[in-house]
Structure 1
Amino acid sequence: MTPSTAAHAQMTLTDFETLARRAPETVTLEFVNGKLGVKPLPDQRHGAIVMWLLRQCMQQRPELALYPEQGLKVESYRTGRARADGALAPYDHYAAQEGEWADPAGTLMVVEVTSFDPDADQRDRDEKRAAYAQADIPVYLLVDRDQDMLTVHSDPQDGMYRQTVSYAYGEAVTLPAPVRITLDTEKLKDYAN
């Protein structure tokens, strides 16, 4: 979190973590860019997209796992908390970590699938992209259901992704190192609205 953001945070990180622990199971909270956010419950197509991606990742890279709804410490000083729709890491990578929020070191890729909630879309497209880049997560894959496209952000440096490439549903998408998975996105057309 940048100093200007920290000065304007809605609450302390400790207060957020206490609130998140006490929230009902049906409420998923995030703390990105000093702001409290409520992550909407995924609809059926959202879940289908995550499962589609999970299968492709595990078939091509069985030594890795795509962890759904993984809580991560993000931003420059690990002062943000995001619950990624998916986090790709070596199998059992997060098992040794304590608590709800994992250190992102060793995470190869994070995935967000947009919801049809304006606040969530803003967080997925802008705020989380910045938070994941600041946490030096090598690849951020955004499945943008409003645009029927995938956007691959990679090469984080100085808190920003230096490479961004977008692909329409149906195109082959080769995810860059260290992920090295090629996605056949034709199936995503079945999940388009």
Structure 2
Amino acid sequence: MTVMAERTARTAQMTVEEFEEIAKAAEKLNDAVRFEFIDGRIGVKGVPDGDHGEIIRWLVEQCIRSGSRLGVYSADLGLRVGEYRNGRAKPDVVLAPKGTFAGQGDWADPDHVAMVVEVTSYDSDTHRRDRVEKPVAYAAEGIPVYLLIDRDACTLTVHSDHSPRGYRDIHSVEFGATLALPKPVDIELDTGELKDYVR
């Protein structure tokens, strides 16, 4: 199936530099939220719940078992994404060659990232953030694979074949199916366990 995300023209709420100052100050005061800046808008991700954490653990174990040579990075790794790299995202998991982020600051260059993963939260922004804006931002950066683990729909959606406007190939499977992630990730996921981590 070929699908491309639509972009809407928006005026940015603030500059990237202003966002970075706000995010740094706020996260020092309150570690209960993570801030992102996608498509000119500031977004707040709440603290992940226990099931969210179990899904991340499951994915890390699957990647390690696969024998992948990619490093698995999770929690608080910030990436410069989107048009002109004017966005700032904190994916739940990033797969990249080991050593990719050595020496980089709070917001890393995504050039060598193989896959980003988001696990939906139970908040009002998850649709806009994870299903609409992030696929466009990640594709614009040339990130080969975006995996969305959707707890509302009980599906995993693989986005691949990136273009500046979005991913052209989008494929979903229900929790319980086996999912083959495309190259450069090239890992097969057994998703049966995910049924235990939804409300």
**DSSP-derived class of the 2:107 partner:** coil
Q: Contact 1:133–1:159 (CA<8 Å) still a contact in 2? A: yes
Task: Verify: 1:39 aligned to 2:45, yes or no.
Answer: yes
Question: Which residue number corresponds to residue 160 of structure 1?
Answer: 166
Q: Contact 1:136–1:159 (CA<8 Å) still a contact in 2? A: no
Q: Contact 1:68–1:86 (CA<8 Å) still a contact in 2? A: yes
Question: Which residue number corresponds to residue 94 of structure 1?
Answer: 101
**DSSP-derived class of the 2:90 partner:** strand
- Amino acid of the structure 2 residue aligned with 1:160: G
Question: Which residue number corresponds to residue 181 of structure 2?
Answer: 175
Following superposition, the deviation at residue 160 of structure 1 comes to: 1.2
Residue 27 of structure 1, aligned match among 23, 26, 33: 33
Question: Which residue number corresponds to residue 72 of structure 1?
Answer: 79
Q: How does 1:124-143 map to 2 (within 5 A)?
A: 124-143=130-149
> 1:150 & 1:128 partners in 2: Cα distance?
15
Identity %: 49
Q: How does 1:146-157 map to 2 (within 5 A)?
A: 146-157=152-163
Any gaps of 5 or more consecutive residues in structure 1?
none
Following superposition, the deviation at residue 115 of structure 1 comes to: 0.3
> 1:84 & 1:192 partners in 2: Cα distance?
20
- The 3 A distance-change label for structure 1 pair 49 and 3 is closer
Question: Which residue number corresponds to residue 14 of structure 1?
Answer: 17
Task: Verify: 1:189 aligned to 2:195, yes or no.
Answer: yes
> 2:198 & 2:176 partners in 1: Cα distance?
11
**DSSP-derived class of the 1:117 partner:** coil
- Could you list the structure 1 runs, at least 4 aligned residues long, displaced by more than 2 angstroms after superposition: 2-5, 24-27
Q: Contact 1:40–1:120 (CA<8 Å) still a contact in 2? A: no
Q: How does 1:45-56 map to 2 (within 5 A)?
A: 45-56=51-62
Question: Which residue number corresponds to residue 4 of structure 2?
Answer: none
Any gaps of 5 or more consecutive residues in structure 2?
1-6
> 1:162 & 1:62 partners in 2: Cα distance?
25
TM-score, length basis structure 2: 0.91
- Amino acid of the structure 1 residue aligned with 2:89: A
- Amino acid of the structure 1 residue aligned with 2:25: R
**DSSP-derived class of the 2:169 partner:** strand
Following superposition, the deviation at residue 121 of structure 1 comes to: 3.0
TM-score, length basis structure 1: 0.93
- Amino acid of the structure 2 residue aligned with 1:169: F
Number of residue pairs the alignment of both structures matches: 189
Following superposition, the deviation at residue 4 of structure 1 comes to: 4.2
Query: Which structure exhibits the higher relative contact order, with contacts defined as CA atoms closer than 8 Å and separated by 6 or more residues?
Result: 2
